[in-house]
A = this chain, B = another copy of it.
Amino acid sequence: MTQKIAILGASGYTGAELIRLIATHPTLEIAALSGDRKAGQPMSSVYPHLRHLDLPVLVRIEDIRFTNIDMVFCALPHATSQSVIRELPGHLKVVDLSADFRLRDPEEYEKWYGKPHGAPEQQLEAVYGLTEFYRDEIRNARLVAGTGCNAATGQFALRPLIEAGVIDLDDIVMDLKAATSGAGRSLKEHLLLSELYENVKPYSVGGTHRHLGEFDQEFSKIAGRPVQVQLTPHLIPASRGIVMTCYLKGDAQEVHKTLEKAYSNETFLQVLPFGEVPQMKDTRASNFCHIGVAGDRIPGRTTVVAVLDNLTKGSSGQAIQNANLMLGLDETTGLMAPPVYP
């Protein structure tokens, strides 16, 4: 038995990554692909690496017949997504990969995204898609909001620690290194190879990165009181991958034990032996997240490093993982390919 899938916004990187993953998924079947500016084109001209697949031609969203579709992946740009999802037939299960439904509080949404939400009803309904922490809700959800890729990385590092109360909540520093595909296939000067090769570029400094909205929401909810982290993101010369280096106050051994225990049954969340930290490439093109903990010569200080692939575990892999749950499949179906190394 197969489930028929439509991908809206298939011409972006997360769309292409969904297709890559679905190609070896045993039961999902791609029935429709949209790409407004590229409507009418075959996927092989937008993404030649997919040329061996027998894929539907890109169409405009309004030309998709949703009657036969079981599930929609919505990989549209932020703000576009909400207006599209609002109009989709109510029976459809939807996994949204944009930022539109991540924040539950309309005011928080407006604060971080600069305008009122255009689909407040759906916003209320949406389940936050961090699979390992919202499994039950996701299983029963109609609309799941994929998390920010950086937000996912940081939460995998810190949620159990906040929950267990083993770190100082008022002194969390996060230093983010993010590859370029997190910014999509958009034409921006600082994303040119000429600009970013041999470079590291801090951006959104001073607490202005939008994924902070997710950290605020989730960490405060777990802690039962407001929690704010200090975060500096840096663009690095790589196409895929995220490294989140977290500087914490707490006992390193206790931090390690807490993470090990929390993730002992999690397939995709791998906690390294104490004192070892992961490198970014160890999770490349896979749905795995590696997490390491080290102590410091300064007593009471701990460093936690979490790495994952922004397009897979940080976005499209997470989306498939959630879709598996929503469709009653085993959560790991189609997601067990190991990382690509070197």
Interface positions of A (Cβ within 8 A of B): 13, 16, 19-20, 23-24, 47-53, 171, 173, 175, 177, 179-181, 183, 185, 187-189, 191-202, 205-208, 212, 228, 230, 232, 234, 236-241, 243, 245, 247, 267-268, 270, 272, 275, 277-286, 288, 290, 292, 294-298, 301, 303, 305, 307, 336-342
Q: Check A290 against B51 for contact (C-beta < 8 Å).
A: yes
Q: Check B341 against A49 for contact (C-beta < 8 Å).
A: yes
Expressed in whole angstroms, the minimum distance between the Cβ of A24 and any Cβ of chain B is 5
Could you say which of B239, B270, B337 contacts A23, with CB atoms under 8 Å apart?
A: B337
A342 to chain B: which residues have CB within 8 Å?
13, 181, 194-195, 197, 239-240
Could you say which of B201, B270, B281, B341 contacts A279, with CB atoms under 8 Å apart?
A: B201
A280 to chain B: which residues have CB within 8 Å?
198-201
Could you say which of B173, B206, B267, B286 contacts A297, with CB atoms under 8 Å apart?
A: B206
Could you say which of B179, B193, B206 contacts A239, with CB atoms under 8 Å apart?
A: B193
Q: By CB atoms of chain B within 10 A, which of A201, A206, A282 has the most?
A: A206
Could you list 6 further interchain pairs (A-B, Cβ under 8 angstroms) beyond the known A50-B341, A193-B196, A197-B237? A49-B286, A177-B234, A195-B342, A198-B280, A200-B307, A202-B292
